[in-house]
C-alpha cells in the first residue's frame, strides 16, 4: 500500500474524511448542511461536503455508496462509482437517492459516502482493421450464460 498526498481545503465544520480501520480502502465523507435535509422516496439530491481537493495527476478519487446507509435507510449514490478527476477543483458534492418507501433524513455531519483513491492509466488508441476473435465474439451481453 502506498501513501498518496492529496491537498485538501476543508470549509466545513466536519473532520476530514478518514479510514475507519487499518484495512479500510474507503474514507467516509460527511454531509455539510446547515440543517437536516429530508429526502423523499425516489428523490435525488446533491449534498455538499465543504471539501475541495487537489488530486495528483495520474489518480482519481472514486465516490462510492456506504453499505450501512444503503441497507438501513435505502440511500445510495447515483453515478456510482462517481469519479473526481485530478483537474477538478470545485467543491465535492455527493449525489444521493432514497430508494426506500419512506422519507429519509440526512443530518448535518452524517457519513454519506466513501472516497477511494485509484491510479488512472490513459489510453493510446491503436487503430487497426480487425481485433482478435474470441469464443465470446458474437454472443453479446449476458452471453456467458445464466447460472
What is the pTM assigned to this prediction? 0.87
Is residue 70 in a domain? Answer: yes
What is the spatial distance between Cα 80 and Cα 123, in angstroms, rounded to a whole number?
22
Which residue range is the domain that position 58 belongs to?
Answer: 7-119
Burial (CB < 10 A; 0-12, 13-18, 19+), residue 92, is: buried
Q: Please check the confidence at residue 147 and state whether its pLDDT lies above 60.
A: no
pLDDT bracket for residue 141 (50, 70, 90): low
Q: At 35, which CATH number?
A: 2.70.40.10
Is residue 39 in a domain? Answer: yes
Is residue 131 in a domain? Answer: no
Question: Residue 114 belongs to what H/E stretch?
Answer: strand 111-119
Is residue 138 in a domain? Answer: no
What does the angle CA 100 – CA 108 – CA 88 come to, to the nearest 5 degrees? 90
Is residue 144 in a domain? Answer: no
Q: Which cell numbers in the block locate residue 104?
A: 429519509
In 3D space, the residue among 98, 120, 88, 5 whose CA is nearest the CA of residue 44 turns out to be 98
| pLDDT tens, residue by residue, 8-60 | 999 999 999 999 999 999 999 999 999 999 999 999 999 999 999 999 999 99
What does the angle CA 109 – CA 19 – CA 21 come to, to the nearest 5 degrees? 120
8 A C-beta contact, residue 74 and residue 123 = no
Domain count, the chain: 1
Alpha helices in 27-141 (DSSP H): 67-73
Is residue 12 in a domain? Answer: yes
Is residue 89 in a domain? Answer: yes
Is residue 126 in a domain? Answer: no
Amino acid at each position: 500500500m502506498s501513501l498518496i498526498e492529496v491537498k485538501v481545503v476543508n470549509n466545513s465544520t466536519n473532520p476530514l474524511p478518514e479510514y475507519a480501520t487499518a484495512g479500510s480502502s474507503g474514507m467516509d465523507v460527511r454531509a455539510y448542511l446547515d440543517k437536516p435535509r429530508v429526502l423523499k422516496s425516489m428523490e435525488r439530491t446533491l449534498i455538499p461536503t465543504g471539501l475541495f481537493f487537489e488530486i495528483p495527476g495520474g489518480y482519481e478519487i472514486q465516490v462510492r455508496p456506504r453499505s450501512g446507509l444503503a441497507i438501513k435507510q435505502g440511500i445510495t449514490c447515483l453515478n456510482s462509482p462517481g469519479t473526481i478527476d485530478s483537474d477538478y477543483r470545485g467543491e465535492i458534492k455527493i449525489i444521493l437517492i432514497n430508494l426506500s418507501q419512506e422519507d429519509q433524513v440526512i443530518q448535518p455531519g452524517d457519513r454519506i459516502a466513501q472516497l477511494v483513491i485509484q491510479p488512472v492509466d490513459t489510453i493510446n488508441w491503436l487503430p487497426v482493421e480487425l481485433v482478435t476473435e474470441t469464443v465470446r465474439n458474437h454472443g453479446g451481453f449476458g452471453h456467458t450464460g445464466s447460472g
